[in-house]
Amino acid sequence: MAFLKEPDYSHGRAEKTAVVLINLGTPDAPTTSAVRRYLKQFLWDQRVVEIPRAVWWMILNLIILPFRSKKSAEKYAAIWSNDGSPLLVHTRKQAVLLKGYLGERGHEVNVVHAMCYGSPSIPEVLSQLKAEGHERILILPAYPQYSATTTAANFDAVTQHYQQTRNVPELRFIKHYHDHPAYIHALKVSVLKSWEINGKPEKLVMSFHGLPKAFLMRGDPYHCECYKTARLLAEQLGLGKEEYIVTFQSRLGRAEWLQPYTEPTVQALAKQGVKRIDVVCPGFLADCLETLEEIAMEVRQAFLGAGGQTFNYIPCLNESPDGLRALAEISEQHLIGWPTMKTASMREQEKQQALISRAEAKRFGADH
């Protein structure tokens, strides 16, 4: 095997630590060709689709990609921002802010983002970290609930990259944080803030990304972890069992997926006389196609079209302070034992620099 070229060695260079926040991925543009490239990479992963390769190759290349790419591109175009894909924009901001939150806790670490599918790719990011001298890498998946289709796919991409690396850094992987108190608290704060503005609904719908039921039967813990997140959040909000419901969205193909499905469920609620629902998506750290288009647009229309009167989508944690504090606390617990804490002299130097900066800013203001 030919290994990747190692960066030039420099004596005395300090070893660095990095946290890599990995999200699923997004097309580079809301165009048919870009979406086709993205879907081809995403749906060819055996972690995502376990159908025998020969059969799946024909289904993917002859049916799904030719017909689904254009339709998906139109959906992406509906939520695309001036800065690009919402998922990429939020994930990038989360990484930048998380570095600051960890810095406030005294950790000298770099925080970068990567995508399991699309750009910036995991190999690209890990190669850059190696070139910069990072010898300790903490992988933080942007999926609170573990699934082989997401979390394990991240781990596969990381380890496959390092199979080509001669000098492998020290690695740590965060498996899940679906029941972490700080994460549940952040969700609670997000929901309560929405209720303070809009009032409390008749029913809170907690919609998670779907998964084929066969995966559950084969041992994937995702289903159970989703329900635990929902139960803990409901307890924190003081909700009774009749005041919330767990559903699953984003079904693909004709096979049975985890139920109940989100869209038929909200339609049924409307037909039962429920006039107002709120929908929150506790399985997504950042708003994306599945939340902004599928939930906030399609599912909203389904509820209102079935007789509902008020539909409120509660955004993901995105860059919320409580969400970032949760990620910082989760990361910190997995950084224990690594030499990431700033020394007293470093903290004093930063303090003095901050005082100088404030003095200069005050003087600049007085002069102008």
In angstroms, rounded to a whole number, what is the distance separating the alpha carbons of residues 288 and 86? 6
Structure letter (DSSP) for residue 134: E
**In degrees rounded to 5, what are phi and psi of residue 17?**
-120, 140
Burial class (CB in 10 A: 0-12, 13-18, 19+), 344: exposed
Phi, psi of 300 (to 5 degrees): -55, -50
Task: For residue 41, give the nearest of 137, 136, 126, 123 by alpha carbon.
Answer: 123
C-beta atoms surrounding 347 within 10 Å: 13
Strand partners, 314: 280
Helix axes 122-131, 151-162, angle to 10 degrees: 50
Distance (Å, whole) CA 162 – CA 155: 11
Helix axes 321-335, 181-198, angle to 10 degrees: 180
Q: Report whether 209 belongs to an annotated binding site.
A: yes
180 annotated ligand-binding residue: no
Instruction: Kindly state the tokens that stand for 297.
Output: 């647009």
Say how many residues make up the chain: 368
Q: Where are the beta strands (DSSP E) in 149-189?
A: 170-173
Please give the backbone phi and psi of residue 255, each rounded to the nearest 5 degrees, phi first: -65, 160
Helix (H, G, I), strand (E, B) or coil at 141: strand
- Two tokens at 113? 């983002």
Decide if 153 contacts 211 (C-beta within 8 A): no
| 292: Cβ contacts below 8 Å, ≥ 6 apart | 79, 86
Q: Under 8 Å CB-to-CB from 78, ≥6 apart: which residues?
A: 293, 297
Residues in binding site: 209, 290
Residues in binding site for Fe(2+): 209, 290
